[in-house]
Structure 1
């Protein structure tokens, strides 16, 4: 499955720790990430990650384009709800695309835990049928 990994600055540590905790699950999939988040994941886990631009420079939109083409199966987007983001319209568009195309989206650790357990069990195999 194709998995997008995105994190706002104050949530990057949380996402990296989450990836480390479930490295064996993520290693079985194709990973994509926005710029700095992808660099951190590569450096700290050794996993292969296709990196897009940083979120404010279009990375969120690049991932959104893959969602719109049904080429992204899951999105882990650890958002910082307490800090204003200069690219908030891009963030909102990405979330909207996940809803439009029924792409599972985790915006916090609780939801991420549920989705990663589903990945581990193969519960998201219905995404392969949609392609």
Structure 2
């Protein structure tokens, strides 16, 4: 049976409480974002994020040295899945909404839109991507 080295990660929130003097809420937020003094940071261990895969290599103890493999999107961080799939959905909407292209072939684009919708629903539900090739990995 093959061996795999899998790198997993989770994000740990780090926060600070600091008071800013500003004329508006927006200015106060800008000051907070631009403030690079994190000497009073606190770590929120109870609100750690999901565990997700950040690297895959063939072999035992092969991180960064073995043959690397693409990470199936349903094992990546949910925010990354959303961002990557947003681009796909935006492309479909642009094709279907572009009045300069005439009437798009509805059957051609429906075949592409249905799997994109199923994947978007899986992402929102926190589920795996739908199987598209019969591979249940």
TM bracket (short chain): under 0.3
Which one has the bigger helix percentage?
A: 1
Question: What's the TM-score once normalised by structure 2's chain length?
Answer: 0.24
TM-score when normalising by structure 1: 0.25
Select the structure with the greater relative contact order (CA < 8 A; seq sep ≥ 6). Answer: 1
**Could you say which structure has the larger radius of gyration?**
2
